[in-house]
Amino acid sequence: MRSILSLLLLLVVNYAIAQLPKDIDREIVFRSVNVIPMDSERVLENQDVIVKNGTITSVAATGTVKYSKEAMIVDGKGKFLMPGLAEMHAHVPPVNDIEPMKEVVLLFALNGITTIRGMLGHPKHLELRQKINSGEILGPRFITSGPSLNGNSVKTTQNAIDSVRSQKKAGYDFMKLHPGLTKENFAALAVEAKKQKHPFAGHVSFDVGVWRAIAAGYATIDHLDGFVESLVPGIESIKEQETGLFGMFIGKQADESKIPALITALKRQNIWVVPTQALAERWMSPSRDAESLAQAPEMIYMNKNVVTTWLNNKKSLVGNPKYNASETESFIKLRRKLILECQKNGVGLLLGCDAPQVFNVPGFSTHHELAYLVDAGLTPFQALQTGTVNVGKFLKKKDLGLIKKGAPADLVLLGANPLETIRNTENIEGVLMGKKWLSKEFITESLKAIAATK
Ligand SMILES: [Zn+2]
């Protein structure tokens, strides 16, 4: 019985994969659609957006520009077209098998995420990147770090130098730093990275601290790592084990008058910030309890053992003797304030939420992150910028994250206006990834197929 059942499940999965959308070579026209171009906060009503070969060829008032009779027409009446979103702190399984990666990148795509930055690289990810680019695998544009550089993988300055050279040579897009690097090894890594023009991003090691990280020129600092620690007077005499993840156990000692100096330094050095606030709001926050998060609708797309692990992760954090609910609330508020200060003072924010980590399901959690940015005080437009036009600027990819003639056709069709309510980004009617159209039916069927395997 069991084997028949698993065979059936296999068929369901294969069915979804067999139905992957084909490249559309003719023109695609979103007719009479409301466009959110993202160049400024505005809606262009009643437009025809024409796409050909993965590029937007025209955006104009409906009926004013001709297109071919064979064009594929998407009725956009009453709907909203925005650029596809980017998830700038994603995780793709770092394993020697490409199969489990396919589902993760598909989950992102089904949620309107058209670019992801992989934050824990693996040699197999280079193959994944190539197969996504060639169209063999359906997934968002994929930028990937090399394997983790941390206190275990980098033990000497020579290790640091060799790692930069070998990761650059292997063809990774950048380096991901994790905790545990010493000042000396980090300094050697940063100098070599500059020589090799190979960027580094991610965590700030405790011994390094945010000031050295900023001076050394991180491409992005993720999780606001090191920010809270930098506000705590006498941090030099506090042991790393006492601080908690991202400084959560020492937040109450933060001196908020130190915030402007931190923000000024980030701005001056042009450091981009990926807050991954979803991690704090979902994992750390006492106001979202573990049991109800485990029941959230999108948990059906994760393996049950993963959800159980997340449940236990949260329970063990909350059960830690150092965990204090009201102090954690204040810590989360402090993080919100840091995010808002970055926004107000022109520090570039990028959308990212660290899925699949504790209660963050790939794709779905990116939309939660948008809402958390709005909770932090950003307007919906500013929140959308972090996942669209800011990403184009950060990646130096012309017109990525915009809707205009010549821009890449990474597009999401929504049933309602996200500038009014940010949660409307979840109301997805279809996703265009270059020449591939993910219709609402395809999205619904694929999600069903994924859930059926769990
Ligand atoms: Zn991560």
What's the pLDDT score for residue 2?
A: 42
Contact 374, 26 (CB under 8 A): no
Distance from C-alpha of 303 to C-alpha of 16, rounded to nearest angstrom: 18
Return residues with CB closer than 5 A to ligand 1 (ion): 119, 354
Residue 310: name the closest of 335, 351, 282 by CA: 282
Q: What angle do CA 216, 219, 221 make, to 5 degrees?
A: 85
47 CA to middle of ligand 1, Å?
39
203 CA to middle of ligand 1, Å?
9
119 CA to middle of ligand 1, Å?
6
Is residue 313 over pLDDT 80? yes
Backbone angles phi, psi at 74, to 5 degrees: -110, 120
Backbone angles phi, psi at 432, to 5 degrees: -110, 125
Domain range list for the chain:
209-400
279 CA to middle of ligand 1, Å?
10
185 CA to middle of ligand 1, Å?
21
Q: 49 in helix, strand or coil?
A: strand
Mean pLDDT of 74-87: 98
What's the pLDDT score for residue 117?
A: 98
What's the pLDDT score for residue 238?
A: 95
232 CA to middle of ligand 1, Å?
24
354 CA to middle of ligand 1, Å?
5
Q: Where are the strands (E) in 37-191, listed by range?
A: 44-52, 55-61, 72-75, 80-83, 85-90, 113-118, 141-144, 175-177
Which strands, in side-by-side order, build the sheet including 200-202? 175-177, 200-202, 220-222, 272-274
The residues with which 113 forms a beta bridge, in sequence order, are 85
Q: For residue 292, what are the CA distances in angstroms to 177, 303, 311, 423?
A: 33, 17, 10, 19
Is residue 4 over pLDDT 90? no
The residues with which 273 forms a beta bridge, in sequence order, are 221, 349
pLDDT digits (tens, 9 = 90+) for 138-172: 999 999 999 999 999 999 999 999 999 999 999 99
pTM metric for this prediction: 0.95
Q: Are strands 80-83 and 428-433 parallel, antiparallel or unpaired?
A: unpaired
Distance from C-alpha of 92 to C-alpha of 119, rounded to nearest angstrom: 8
118 CA to middle of ligand 1, Å?
9
What's the pLDDT score for residue 20?
A: 84
What's the pLDDT score for residue 394?
A: 98
420 CA to middle of ligand 1, Å?
30
237 CA to middle of ligand 1, Å?
28
Placement of tokens 């899925």 in the chain? 355
Is residue 109 over pLDDT 70? yes
Is residue 13 over pLDDT 90? no
